Amino acid sequence: MSHPYQQQDFLSFTRANEWGSDQTQDFTLGNGTRVQVWDSGVIVFEPQNAGDKDIILSSGVHGNETGPIEICRDYVQAILDEEISVAHRVMFLFGNPASMNIGERFVEENMNRLFSGAHSKEPGLINRERIRAKKLEQYVDDFYRVNDDKERIHYDLHTAIRGSKNEKFAVYPFLHGKEYSKEQLQIMLACDVNTILLSNGPTTTFSYFSSNQYGAHAFTVELGKVRPFGENDMTRFIGVRETLKAMITGNDMALAPYNEADLNLFKVNRAIDKHDDSFQFYFANDVVNFTSFPLGFKLASEGDIDYKIEAEGEAIVFPNAKVANGNRAVLMVVPTTLP
Ligand SMILES: [Zn+2]
């Protein structure tokens, strides 16, 4: 069976239309799966007898986070080539094609701070990421709105700027008191993600948007360290590739029984923001995420303010001294258990 994207690199399709595209496509594969392309990097697969999940896999919200983009590209290609067939409705979102094309984290602004309406909070400020974030919210709405009786899942796949003591980890969005899903944590473990950070409040991330507004089981999943396109050691992704493939094709995910001892759970203790250019860290650039320091250790300073370790086991996540003034420079987390 032929289809418009046969023999064509999916990324070159997004490259041609980095501002977005009104060239929508709608066709059916030989196995009956309906394929809809809604925009650059937005592709929906719907099998003839769709199962009980509506699944979104997003990648490339940060354009240089290549591993997840390559994983999702491979799924898209395998589905189009009918090597695998989806059992559920599945939407793939390649978040920020413009930044993917230049191999950068973003063009003008960190897109994963622009969801839940943050893209429109500063009137008059319009850029690629703001336009795209608003469109992505609409695509999520269009996708989930079709069914209200299905289990909604959205994994927003990333890689981190620096390595991690626990290479793969996930951020569980703030649930406003709703119960954490043990099955979802089992799925994360099957993806080799054994470290989970429980978010402590509303955020402007993509995963919180789907969790909060659509009740989706959503995670920001960090799969390792950023590497250029084509330089990822795909063997590091076997667990996540096989598990997500089993999920979208309706096969057994081979989940291990739930055991909290298999997980490293952390909660947010505080965030340290950068206010001016005097901000600096007192640990090396290659210190990995989830590294803890002794009580009282001087972590950072800004002007005459010192930031020290203030809790037992307090560890750093996402340190970045180069963020714009007014943004978070590092998240401080501590070990926890499920409530
Ligand atoms: Zn990212």
Residue 234: count other Cβ atoms within 10 Å of its Cβ.
Answer: 11
Q: At what angle do helices 182-190 and 238-249 cross, to 10 degrees?
A: 130
Cα distance between residue 168 and residue 243, in whole Å: 14
Q: What is the mean pLDDT of each run of 10 residues along the chain (339 residues)?
A: 39 50 80 92 95 97 91 93 97 92 90 96 90 96 96 95 79 97 97 94 97 98 80 83 97 96 95 95 89 95 96 92 91 94
How many A from CA of 160 to the centre of ligand 1? Answer: 6
How many A from CA of 104 to the centre of ligand 1? Answer: 11
Residue 303 pLDDT:
95
Cα distance between residue 333 and residue 328, in whole Å: 14
The answer to whether the CB of 277 falls within 8 A of the CB of 323 is no
Assign 3-class secondary structure to 36-71.
EEEECCEEEEECCCCCCEEEEEEECCCCCCHHHHHH
208 and 311 assigned to the same domain:
no
316 and 168 assigned to the same domain:
no
How many A from CA of 31 to the centre of ligand 1? Answer: 34
Cα distance between residue 204 and residue 119, in whole Å: 9
Residue 18 pLDDT:
53
Q: Are strands 328-335 and 264-273 parallel, antiparallel or unpaired?
A: antiparallel
Residue 24 pLDDT:
73
175 and 299 assigned to the same domain:
no
CATH number at residue 139: 3.40.630.10
Return the closest-CA partner of residue 197 out of 1, 336, 299. Answer: 336
275 and 170 assigned to the same domain:
no
Tell me which residues are annotated as active site. 222
Per the structure, the complete domain to which residue 286 belongs is given by: 269-335
Indicate whether 172 belongs to any domain: yes
How many A from CA of 112 to the centre of ligand 1? Answer: 7
Q: Which token pair is 177?
A: 């008191």
How many A from CA of 161 to the centre of ligand 1? Answer: 8
100 and 243 assigned to the same domain:
yes
Domain final position from 241, 261, 281: 261
CATH number at residue 282: 2.40.50.630
204 and 84 assigned to the same domain:
yes
Residue 25 pLDDT:
81
Residue 9 pLDDT:
45
229 and 90 assigned to the same domain:
yes
Domain final position from 261, 283, 309: 261
Residue 10 pLDDT:
47
The answer to whether the CB of 116 falls within 8 A of the CB of 213 is yes
245 and 319 assigned to the same domain:
no
Which residues lie at CB < 5 A from ion ligand 1?
62, 65, 158
Q: At what angle do helices 206-214 and 128-145 cross, to 10 degrees?
A: 30
Domain final position from 218, 237, 261: 261
161 and 96 assigned to the same domain:
yes
Distances (CA, A) of 260 to 15, 61, 222, 239, 256: 43, 30, 20, 19, 11
Indicate whether 177 belongs to any domain: yes
